[in-house]
Amino acid sequence: MQPTHRSSRILLPAKTWFAYLSLLVALALSYIPTGLTPGVPDWVALVLAFWSIREPLRVGMGAGFLFGVLVDIGHGAAMGQHALAYVVLCYLATSVSRRVLWFPPTQQALQMFPLLLLTQVIMVVVRLVAGAEFPGWWYFLSSLTSAALWVPLNYLLLLPQYQPVDRDDNRPI
Amino acid sequence: MRLLVLVSVCLAMLVADLKFRYLEVVRQALSVATWPLQMAAAAPADFVRNAAVYFGTLVEVQKDNAALRGRELEAAQRLLRFEQLEEENRRLRGLLDMGPAVAAKSVAAEILYDAPDPFDLKVILNRGSQQGVEAGMAVVNEQGMIGQVTRVYPVQAEVTLLTDKDQAVPVQVARNGLRGVLAGAGQGRLELRFTLSGADVRVGDRLVTSGLDGLFLAGLPVADVVSVDRDAQTFAVIVCEPVAGVERTTQVRLLGRAEPPPPRPAPEPEPEPRKGLKG
């Protein structure tokens, strides 16, 4: 399929503080006690992947490691479980970022799905090796819902960059 | 390069945490930092729960109330009898020169939610070290034991349920005092491990804690034997079902020993190697 250039609209530069603020919000969302409901999206993985694609020089494996450890602690998971998965996710997302950005958001979502699935597979493998029980196939539903949220998230997180440089009162956004 | 470094750091952390439990201090320290975020995230869930309570119908409350009154009456009778028996027990122990029975320490708590980690069967309680919760305490509801406190935070505690694969409880058969180790077997079942196939265990036997581990009080009901398979080689395969509804309960009590268990007896001195056996 021929890539379109719709996604390469010229935007304002992203602000680093906004990227980290959105990561913190994602962390808070991941702490919401949903129990064992299947299909709860992995917010932190999603936002980390987003910024690794958009701003590979500012958000990368270091952020993945830091937020992975914080998720591990909040979830009572094994220390390093999410960190490992997110580091690999950020590495892969950074390395495919040039290619993925050529596509419109819906096709980006299709490309993100295998990456998000891989992070979950890494976590399952790590815990199975350590002797845990297999959590059931429903567990993997989460990466599907995460990938489905890619398009609205894309819009939401790019909103600050859609602002025009010269503010025009007749045209608010 | 950075990928390799970070991945190996993560793997080292995993091994240190899962195999050796070295990182509990780090976890405690960092959990202080994530605490405000966790509180903020838990607020909507609390709101939903409180709203459900608020809109509970009057009929339900009245029904509950009647049931509770009935249970209270029953409990009061048993309590009277219990006090008398305890007094008698103390006197008899004194006569037999056995020393007082172990005093119990207890904390009431409520289960907040299932831990989000889908690999373990854990729940989070709303009481922590500030309210006197300690790691190792037994968690019981009104029917029997449901789990053990495995990690304590300042105002929360993590309980591993009995049915978790890594949770083991030293038990004895209430009927004849036969001791064994009960471990989780998945699918809400438990398994009495390392019991010889000739052992006297029957379907329907009640298993209670033996207190041999120095952590649990003796005599808490834990499980009932559901099936015994003696065809296996050395050990019988004994499947049990927990007495309490382990995975569906909200109000619990944490029980621990008020004093630490007595120290282990000193190991006997090594027998001197025999000399002069030649010739």
pLDDT tens-digit readout, A58-104: 888 999 999 999 999 888 888 889 999 999 999 999 999 989 988 88
Task: Place B279 in a pLDDT band, splitting at 50, 70 and 90.
Answer: very low
Q: What is the pLDDT of residue A9?
A: 64
Amino acid at B32: V
Interface test with chain B among A42, A90, A91, A133, by most B beta carbons within 10 Å: A133
Amino acid at A69: V
Within 10 A of B60 (CB to CB), how many other CB atoms are there? 9
Specify whether the CB–CB gap between B145 and B139 falls below 8 A: yes
Chain A residue whose CA is closest to B122: A76
Of A33, A83, A84, the CB nearest to B113: A33
- Start-end ranges of CATH 2.40.10.340 in chain B? 103-259
Task: Place A37 in a pLDDT band, splitting at 50, 70 and 90.
Answer: confident
List the structure tokens of B261.
């268990």
Pure H helices in chain A: 16-30, 43-54, 61-75, 81-100, 105-129, 141-148, 150-162
Task: Place B117 in a pLDDT band, splitting at 50, 70 and 90.
Answer: confident
* Residue numbers in A near B34 (CB within 8 A): 27, 31, 70, 73-74
Q: Could you give the CA distance from residue A86 to residue A68 in angstroms, rounded to a whole number? A: 6
Specify whether the CB–CB gap between B190 and B239 falls below 8 A: yes
Chain A residue whose CA is closest to B42: A32
Using the predicted structure, report yes or no on whether residue A2 has a pLDDT greater than 70. Answer: no
Interface test with chain B among A32, A120, A139, by most B beta carbons within 10 Å: A32
Q: A104 to chain B nearest CA, in Å?
A: 29
* Residue numbers in A near B112 (CB within 8 A): 33
CATH fold of the domain at B103-259:
Thrombin, subunit H (2.40.10)
Q: Could you give the CA distance from residue A45 to residue A52 in angstroms, rounded to a whole number? A: 10
Specify whether the CB–CB gap between B210 and B223 falls below 8 A: no
Q: Could you give the CA distance from residue B133 to residue B110 in angstroms, rounded to a whole number? A: 13
Pairwise CB contact (< 8 Å): B10 & A61 = no
Instruction: Tell me the average pLDDT across B88-95.
Output: 86
Task: Place A172 in a pLDDT band, splitting at 50, 70 and 90.
Answer: low
Q: What is the mean pLDDT of chain B?
A: 84
Name the nearest CA neighbour of B125 among B144, B100, B107.
B107
Sign of CA dihedral A27, A28, A31, A37: negative
**pLDDT, greater one: B278 or A82:** A82
Q: What are phi and psi of B144, to 5 degrees?
A: 175, -165
b/e per residue B46-55 (b: at least 16 CB within 10 A): eeeeeeeeee
**What is the pTM assigned to this prediction?**
0.80
Interface test with chain A among B112, B117, B125, B149, by most A beta carbons within 10 Å: B117
Q: B184 to chain A nearest CA, in Å?
A: 11
